[in-house]
Chain A
Amino acid sequence: MTGSFRGRLADRTSSRWVRLASQYAAVILAALVVNFALPRLAPGDPVDYLVPPEAGTIEESARESMLERFDLDGSGWQQFTSYLANVAQGDLGISVRDGRPVSEVVAERLWWSLLLVGTAVAVSTILGVALGFAAGWRRGSRRDVSLLAGVLAVDALPAFFVGLMLLLVFSVQLEWLPVYGAVSPEALTGWAWIADAGKRLVMPAVTLTFVGLGSVFVVARSAMVSELGEDYVFMARAKGLADRGVRRHAARNAMVPVSTVALLGFSTLVGAATVVESVFSYPGLGSLAFSAVRARDYPVLQAVFLLLSLIAIGANLLADLLYPLLDPRVRRAGSR
């Protein structure tokens, strides 16, 4: 029995994989098109950055050769096809701002972004789930109402405001935390470097956690509330199972929707990080994109947007893959 079960499962899985893969390929292609078009829709172009009007006139030929260096000459279609061809080969082009390979520029920033956003996602998920379950456990209780009001109030605060407040309290007043950057510019090494980086991560990560907390909390709370209304809970209570046991059962089931929200939160926070990174001069992808927009640095913008798209798509994929693991019903539906 086990053998045939496994075989059928394999069949199902492979066709599911094909479907999944083609869906994701379509999404990635769409992302590539949008990422290519979006920066070019804004007025101005890289030449305006390289040679502003004050610096003198430029001949059309000089202009073309300047763009050629970045593979930005020719018609939009030509640029797009060569962009696709290059991306397929892993070549992201040359940054208009500093002439370095985009992959190098982006790689410098990517890890900081992942650290910042990863921390914020982890903390906001854990905190959100804990608070959400606590609030949902006794719906309408004083604890529920005050938690709901508190978290939603925090959620409504704009990130830049939270960032500035933290800055005022923890840097200016208490002088506990540094105000800028991801690491000290003073060439620390070893453990001192790590301690410094940790210190500088605190405020941006907390700010970003505030951004992500609300959605996780709300979903966790309502999932808990609805699980508690299920028959099995009623049954468990009837059997005389203690609160602790009931909570365990309900929490496990409530984790399913929460996991999706948490993973999707990852892509939201990557975007929100732009603001946080500007406030704290954190050298992530967000602040890179910010500077790139101002220079109309198409290659860098394309690469950052592509990366952000891939992160969002990846988070989605992970949610897709995790679902059957978390929810036996999905798993059984897939194998039936």
Chain B
Amino acid sequence: MVTASLASAAMLRHRITILALILAFLGVALAPLAAAQDDEEVVVRVGLHAAEKNLNPFIVPQALPLTHDFTMLVYDTLFWSQSRLDPEPWLATGAEPSEDFRTWTVTVREDVRWHDGTPFTAADVAFTFEYFAADGGPGRYGHHVYDHPVFESASVIDDATVQLTFQDPVTTFKLLPGGDIPILPKHVWEGVTDPRADATSLPVGTGPYMMVDYDPGVSYRLEANPDYFLGPPLVDRLIMPVVRDAQAAFAGLQTGELDFVTRNLPAPLVPRVQENEELSVITGSRMQSLYLMFNTRKPILRDPAVRKAMSMALDVQAIVDIVEGGLGRPGNDTWTHPDSPWAHPVGGHQFDAGAAGAMLDEAGYPLGDGGVRRSADGAPLAFTLLVNAAAPPQIRSGELVAEQLSAIGVDITVEPLDAPAITAARRPGPDGPPTVEMFIAVFESHAHADPDHLFFFFHSPGRGVGGIFSGYANPDFDAVLEDALDAPIDEKLTLIGQAQEIFAAEAPAVVLYYPDGRWGYRPGVYDGWISDPGHGVFTKRSFLAPYAAGSAVAEESAEEPVASEPESGEDSEAADSEPAPEEAVTEDSAPEGADASSTDAGDADAPSTASTDGGTASDDAGTAAPAPEEAAEVDGDADADDGGSGGAVTFVVVLVIVAAAVAAFVVVRRRGREGTVED
């Protein structure tokens, strides 16, 4: 018996050797195949830090930093962008209001086709507004046609003209909804009764990119729309894997697997990226804010004096310096992002801890035992502050808030939770207000670009989302904002400024800082990135010749000051764990977005309507950019991969051998055992 199994073992060894030889041979033969693709075209690999679904605008994850700009690679809006008072006509060629601002006559381009070849007409615009309004459900886009302004009807005058009528006067139509709502193809959506049902089929838009592949939760592939009305995009293909892990994403950027990472580049990595000659850094404004919200329905927090005192005790400059290493601007008491056209002209933050303490004394909250203030009926000024456990900047900000407020006798307990748990605490129960006392969250640019953002978020419960957002209620504030809703733009600016002053005085929320953003990229692969204010860098203008070419040069010079920023130990720690895998919910979003306001202003003005019409004429410099040397670099990378793939094949071979050995082992044992039984 012993001899028998020895013999079979010998045989087995034989077989394994043969198998190994065969596989090794295959491996050698295959290695070159693995990296055998290399074209002339410009292919940019973008590491998305989060993305879900197929850009169906009815179910795009809310407030995800990427959502809008990613969506707008495939779709177009009538105007671009909502972050400016006077957006540039995009799918539209113009829009004229009626005298009462309730009806807008929109003329649209006639040289546009949907990705499937069907011509785009005014009927698609009419359909889009009707369809969003009919859906009526909650969502990122729809609420601009049923919350405010409430859409009434559309009538198509001819293929290039449509009249959109609203129930209320809409003075800012070009920004919102004109600069926001993706125009949908009527012929695709017409028969769809439940727009929320489909999260996987490939979208059909008019945008610069066509989505050709979507692997749910894993990756997207986009291809340039060669017939785009502003000329073919400069990047032929966008390959976009979702790489949620920050370390993996930046490793990918360093190895050349990724050419751009949508995640904010952490401060400690900046020197490494700069040392690497193949990488560059670009800054851009995303108009984000990281804010501290009070639940003003809670007994003590209802008192504006308490909130204002807390606001005054916060050294927001210190917070942004410590948490973001200075990569950001301190918060303004007037809430709105300074880059937004709706920002208060002065803004600023009132920081005076001494005065804050005196204010609390006066308001009837004397210092009690243990250095904690108490109200007249003995309740301590002690609150729980919820922060997103997956967003280190929020946790650090929360800790600093707690530290700074303890100086005036307010006791804060920072509680990191996962995003859905915070959302649940913010949601009013069936019979009562939300349980949350204070929380920290991040807002994206849309929340600052929307002319009615203060109305939506801070109007008394009952209108907008104020009811679930802060519960803040002040009739004067409400009245000003209601007037502002329908006011012509000039007047609206004044009224919103008034509302912001009330806001600053009563502090229903405090912006701790406006995070700045910077991104790492491979200029050798694509160098056209520009910052579009409120959109950052990963946005459609970065890919379009009329915008990308010249601005790239301007941005290059802007990157120096950021790069040479001093870094304290705290910074590195701060940005180190930027990771915060982002999804769906706002609290989740790790701050990004930056200011490059001076350069932004420059490039925003450059492309006028006229020049966009003749877009193809001005794109020569842009298209010429990705030239031979880059191609060579791509080659180099491919070669490096090549070597690796040989190694990998070897590994696969080893794995197969291992598996075969296991199987053989089992067989031999069994056979041996059978022998024993028979014995």
Bound state CA distance, A288 and B662, in angstroms? 30
Inter-chain contact count A-B, CB under 8 Å? Answer: 238
Bound state CA distance, A108 and B676, in angstroms? 44
- B469–A53 touching, CB < 8 Å: yes
Bound state CA distance, A19 and B37, in angstroms? 58
Residues of the B chain whose Cβ atoms lie less than 8 Å from the Cβ of A105: 216
User: Could you mark each residue 38-73 of chain A with 1 if its beta carbon is under 8 Å from any beta carbon of chain B, else 0?
Assistant: 000011110011111111111010100000000000
User: Could you mark each residue 418-448 of chain B with 1 if its beta carbon is under 8 Å from any beta carbon of chain A, else 0?
Assistant: 1111011111001000000000000100010
Taking the closest CB of chain A, its distance from the CB of B511, in whole angstroms, is 16
For A192, give its contact among B33, B199, B216, B420 (CB under 8 Å).
Answer: B33
10 contacts between A and B (CB under 8 A): A43-B421, A44-B424, A49-B585, A62-B138, A105-B216, A171-B255, A180-B252, A185-B45, A281-B245, A291-B583
Bound state CA distance, A301 and B311, in angstroms? 41
Q: Is residue A191 contacting chain B, with contact meaning CB distance below 8 A?
A: yes
- A122–B659 touching, CB < 8 Å: yes
Closest to B434 in A: A53
User: Could you mark each residue 167-205 of chain A with 1 if its beta carbon is under 8 Å from any beta carbon of chain B, else 0?
Assistant: 110011001111111100111101110111011011000
Residues of the A chain whose Cβ atoms lie less than 8 Å from the Cβ of B247: 164, 167, 279
- B676–A100 touching, CB < 8 Å: no
Most buried by B among A126, A198, A201: A198
Contacts A44-B421, A185-B215; is A56 near B254 (CB within 8 Å)?
no
Bound state CA distance, A60 and B197, in angstroms? 21
The stretch of B123-131, B235-243, B335-343, B396-404 in contact with A is: B235-243
- A55–B62 touching, CB < 8 Å: yes
Bound state CA distance, A317 and B320, in angstroms? 56
Taking the closest CB of chain A, its distance from the CB of B273, in whole angstroms, is 12
- B465–A53 touching, CB < 8 Å: yes
For B644, give its contact among A42, A119, A123, A175 (CB under 8 Å).
Answer: A175
Contacts A44-B424, A178-B257; is A57 near B36 (CB within 8 Å)?
no
- A100–B200 touching, CB < 8 Å: yes
For B424, give its contact among A45, A295, A328 (CB under 8 Å).
Answer: A45
Contacts A43-B421, A126-B661, A185-B241; is A195 near B62 (CB within 8 Å)?
no
Bound state CA distance, A164 and B247, in angstroms? 7
Residues of the B chain whose Cβ atoms lie less than 8 Å from the Cβ of A49: 420, 423, 584-585
**Chain B count of residues within 8 A CB distance of the other chain:** 91
- B651–A294 touching, CB < 8 Å: no
Bound state CA distance, A295 and B425, in angstroms? 15
Q: Is residue B147 contacting chain A, with contact meaning CB distance below 8 A?
A: yes
Q: Which chain B residues (563-594) contact chain A, with CB distance < 8 Å?
A: 581, 583-586, 588
Residues of the B chain whose Cβ atoms lie less than 8 Å from the Cβ of A288: 217
Taking the closest CB of chain A, its distance from the CB of B215, in whole angstroms, is 7
Bound state CA distance, A199 and B643, in angstroms? 11
- B197–A99 touching, CB < 8 Å: yes
Q: Is residue B361 contacting chain A, with contact meaning CB distance below 8 A?
A: no
- B651–A198 touching, CB < 8 Å: yes
- A175–B255 touching, CB < 8 Å: yes
Taking the closest CB of chain A, its distance from the CB of B386, in whole angstroms, is 11
For B140, give its contact among A55, A126, A182 (CB under 8 Å).
Answer: A55
Contacts A126-B661, A192-B33; is A52 near B584 (CB within 8 Å)?
yes
For A195, give its contact among B31, B213, B248, B249 (CB under 8 Å).
Answer: B31
Residues of the A chain whose Cβ atoms lie less than 8 Å from the Cβ of B215: 185, 283
Q: Is residue A230 contacting chain B, with contact meaning CB distance below 8 A?
A: no
Q: Is residue A280 contacting chain B, with contact meaning CB distance below 8 A?
A: yes
